Amino acid sequence: MGDIFGSRFRRVVMPFMMVVVFLVPMFALSWQLTLCLVAVNTVLIGVTMVLTGPLKSLSKKMSESNSIMTKHITDLIQGIIQVRMFPAGRKTVDRYNEEADVYAVKSDKRNMFSSLLECANTGFDLICNLVFLALGILFVQKGYTTLGAIAAIYTMYGRFSRQFLQMGKYIPELIAYLTYAQNIFEFLDEKTEEEMLNRQEFNKERLHNEINNSCGHNNIFNNIDYSVNISNLTFSYIKDENNAPIVVLDNYNERIKSGEFVAVTGASGSGKTTLSKLLMGFYKPDSGMIEVCGNNLDDISLQAGRSFFALVPQDAILFNMSIMDNIRMGRLDATKDEIIEAAKMANAHQFITEFTDGYDTVVGEKGMSVSGGQRQRIAIARAILKNAPIMLMDEATSALDNESERAVNETLQNLKGRMTIIMIAHRTSTIQMADRVISL
């Protein structure tokens, strides 16, 4: 952005300023001759404007094509094994090559218009010089001006015309950069979650005042019978090819008691993950109400609503830092003793202490230096440390081996009764642990 509004923007703005500086003395010496020159150069500006229209359009299309190419190359890198192992993976390569060809065609067209613009600028400059000489001779013969004034105007006009040539040279470049800048501004102007979902903005000072204190984090079951109360909830996704909404949840009702362990089951596409995203405020229902710990989610900020939940996803993401810091992300002001206690509750303390650096062990990018089961238990420790009244687990054991699953299930047994647990699950061993099964 600094490059766009720095040197490149200056290359176009400065010639305009120089033109104004030269026009003042030129008008003073011979306003008639200067006016004729301005009229001729106005034609040059008109031609420039005509040619910059396609340039702007092509630059925008090149930007869009470049974004598609970037997406395809990202897919190629992230799915390199699938690309190499499956014949269909070749389609991703072909799509990239096709888009690269489209980009090349648009680039050639843009270069053609840029060349035409530069040729037009140079050609009109020659024409303007010829017009100037012809008019100069005519004006001297008619007595409208003197030969000295003509010489002075011609000297200034030489600088004047060069400024126009510079503008013609750099305007296409500026247009290309402004097109990319427009994409950035469109991204920055995107609505926030609060604006899209019509929710209040988060305010730290208001957080503890706006939520129902009867379901606070220290005494989560005091004066509250149900952690989650869903009434007449309806949610549908974007319309399908027939212009009809895809209804996932229709007039759905459910109540989950405080401290209850429920397993949410159902076929793929039945709405299990959708329900979890509705609870956390990532989706807005079409109609109906969701109450969490006695608070209507529509009446509180997104951050306040999410403070009730500790999430353990199917593929837990760890950051490239120490195990201690990864667990501490659940609550930044937690002490070392609290972190260790959370790790013990998650059955993670033993394997953590077996590492050479213990809790200071750096887990690597996305936590790839630890196993899937270890990664999941660290994520559970992080969720426990948050000390939220509800733990939401989205198929947290589906990708684990039997030993890792057994360790996670033991952790869940330890947590039963301490908090409300909502687990989206398929495995029988996990479902059998639940107090109740919700089938969607």
DSSP for 292-351 reads ETTEEGGGS-HHHHHTTEEEE-SS----SSBHHHHHHTT-TT--HHHHHHHHHHTT-HHH
Give the per-residue pLDDT at 205: 43
Q: Binning pLDDT at 50, 70 and 90, where does residue 354 land?
A: very high
The most confident of the ranges 6-15, 137-146, 315-324 is: 315-324
Burial of 365 from C-beta contacts in 10 A (0-12 / 13-18 / 19+): exposed
The owner of tokens 């299990």 is: 272
The whole-angstrom separation of Cα 436 and Cα 431 is: 8
Predicted pLDDT at 175: 64
Residue 213: predicted pLDDT: 44
Tokens representing 346 are 């998650």
pLDDT on residue 399: 61
| Coil, helix or strand at residue 238 | coil
Most confident of 42-56, 89-103, 118-132, 356-370: 356-370
Terminal CA-CA length for the chain: 49
Query: 3-state SS of 376-424?
Result: HHHHHHHHHHHCCCEEEEECCCCCCCHHHHHHHHHHHHHHECCEEEEEE
Taking only Cα atoms into account, the Rg of the chain, rounded to an integer number of angstroms, comes to: 34
User: Quick check: helix, strand or coil at residue 191?
Assistant: coil
pLDDT at residue number 87: 56
- Please tell me which of 50-59, 93-102, 342-351 the model is most confident about, judged by mean pLDDT: 342-351
Residue 57 burial (CB count, 10 A): 16
Contact 272, 261 (CB under 8 A): no
Tell me how far apart the alpha carbons of residues 109 and 60 are, in angstroms, rounded to a whole number: 13
> What's the pLDDT at 337?
93
> How confident is the model at residue 224, as a pLDDT?
63
Give Cα separations from 56 to 48, 180, 352, 382, 429 (angstroms).
Answer: 12, 11, 57, 50, 60
Check if the beta carbon of residue 421 is closer than 8 Å to that of residue 415.
Answer: yes
Q: How confident is the model at residue 338 (pLDDT cuts 50, 70, 90)?
A: very high
Average pLDDT over residues 93-106: 83
Mean pLDDT, the chain, whole residue set: 77
Token pair belonging to 155: 């000297």
How high is the pLDDT of residue 166? 61
Percent of the chain with pLDDT over 70: 75
Contacts of 345 (CB under 8 A, 6+ apart): 381, 384, 411, 414, 415
H/E stretch holding 256 reads strand 246-257
Nearest C-alpha neighbor of 260 from the set 440, 439, 438, 436:
436
* Predicted confidence band of residue 340 (pLDDT cuts 50, 70, 90): very high
Contact 255, 274 (CB under 8 A): no
Measured in degrees and rounded to the nearest 5, phi and psi for residue 38 equal: -65, -40
- Look-up: residue for tokens 């319309």? 239
Question: CA angle at residue 393 from 389 to 399, to 5 degrees?
Answer: 155
Collect all residues with Cβ–Cβ distance below 8 Å to 159 and sequence separation of at least 6. 18, 22
What is the mean pLDDT of the segment spanning 360-373?
83
Q: CA angle at residue 255 from 254 to 261, to 5 degrees?
A: 110
Domains, the chain, ranges and CATH?
1-189 (1.20.1560.10), 225-439 (3.40.50.300)
Q: Let me know: does 260 contact 435? Beta carbons within 8 Å.
A: yes
Higher pLDDT, 251 or 5: 251
List the one residue out of 277, 224, 219, 221 whose CA is nearest residue 248: 277
| pLDDT tens per residue, range 160-178 | 666 666 665 566 566 666 6
CA 326 from centroid of its chain's CA atoms: 23
Question: For 188-245, what is each residue's pLDDT tens digit?
Answer: 666 665 555 555 544 444 444 444 444 544 444 445 677 899 999 999 887 656 667 7
Decide if 423 contacts 430 (C-beta within 8 A): yes
Most confident of 114-118, 146-150, 240-244, 405-409: 146-150
